[in-house]
């Protein structure tokens, strides 16, 4: 009996589980992995919230944003306008295209770089705004979940209004009678 007791004491005694500890060398502890994953998600959300927190924007910033929105529509409408003018007045269009034919190649490369950087920067800014909105939505998720639970509890409680007749010995309830009459 002493030998078995010493063996089990060695394997499972003193609050330790040698088998479980040995197995964790070869396989990750799922519970601890979940805890670490939850902590990582919380840290990521906190970082997003800190990174994307911006003070209220002034009139100058909004005006510059408005100006930044002009080039794309102007390019699109300008191109459509050129196509329309090519059909309406081909001589006028041909004269403008002869002028463009005189633009040197390095200037075309410069124009291409400017337009590429503008649209690339715009794409990056919009991508960051999208990530900010995602972070804000994810940060509001616990509050929305709590609100839904509260609404579900209210909806479940709304059907529990008693409409039974008063017990013997109780007098009539005028408020209940008015409510039932209005229903």
Number of other CB atoms surrounding residue 135 within 10 Å: 20
Q: Using the CB atoms, write b or e for 57-84: b if 16+ within 10 Å.
A: eeeeeeeeeeeeeeeeeeeeeeeeeeee
Half-sphere exposure of 34 (CA within 13 A, CB side): 3
**Contact yes or no for 110/116 (Cβ under 8 A):** no
Token pair of 87, please? 């059909």
pLDDT, greater one: 76 or 155:
76
Task: Please give the Cα distance from 157 to 151 (Å, whole number).
Answer: 10
* The predicted structure's pLDDT at residue 163: 45
Mean pLDDT of 85-114: 91
> What pLDDT is recorded for position 46?
87
Give CB contacts under 8 A, 24+ apart, made by 86-92.
none
Q: What percent of the chain has pLDDT over 90?
A: 19
Q: Is the pLDDT reported for residue 96 higher than 60? A: yes
Report if pTM > 0.85: no
The pLDDT of residue 107 is 92
Q: What is the pLDDT of residues 162-182, one digit of tens each?
A: 445 545 456 678 888 888 888
Query: 14 pLDDT band (50/70/90 cuts)?
Result: low
Supply the Cα-derived Rg of the chain in whole angstroms: 36
**Per-residue confidence (pLDDT) for residue 53, from 0 to 100:** 74
The predicted pLDDT at position 24 comes to 75
Residue with the bigger pLDDT between 83 and 124: it is: 83
| pLDDT greater than 70 at residue 40 | yes
Q: Percent of the chain having pLDDT more than 70?
A: 85
């Amino acid at each position: 009996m002493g030998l078995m007791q010493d063996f089990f004491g060695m394997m499972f005694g003193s609050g330790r589980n040698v088998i479980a500890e040995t197995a964790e060398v070869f396989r990750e502890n799922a519970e601890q992995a979940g805890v670490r994953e939850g902590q990582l998600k919380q840290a990521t959300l906190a970082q997003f919230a800190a990174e994307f927190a911006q003070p209220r924007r002034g009139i100058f910033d909004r005006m510059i944003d408005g100006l930044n929105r002009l080039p794309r529509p102007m390019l699109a409408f300008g191109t459509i306008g050129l196509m329309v003018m090519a059909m309406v007045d081909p001589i006028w269009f041909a004269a403008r295209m002869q002028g463009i034919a005189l633009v040197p190649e390095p200037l075309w490369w410069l124009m291409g770089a400017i337009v590429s950087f503008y649209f690339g920067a715009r794409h990056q800014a919009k991508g960051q705004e999208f990530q900010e909105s995602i972070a804000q939505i994810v940060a509001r998720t616990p509050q929305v979940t709590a609100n839904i639970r509260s609404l579900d509890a209210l909806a479940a409680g709304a059907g529990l209004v008693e409409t039974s007749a008063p017990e013997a010995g109780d007098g009539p309830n005028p408020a209940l009678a008015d409510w039932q009459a209005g229903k």
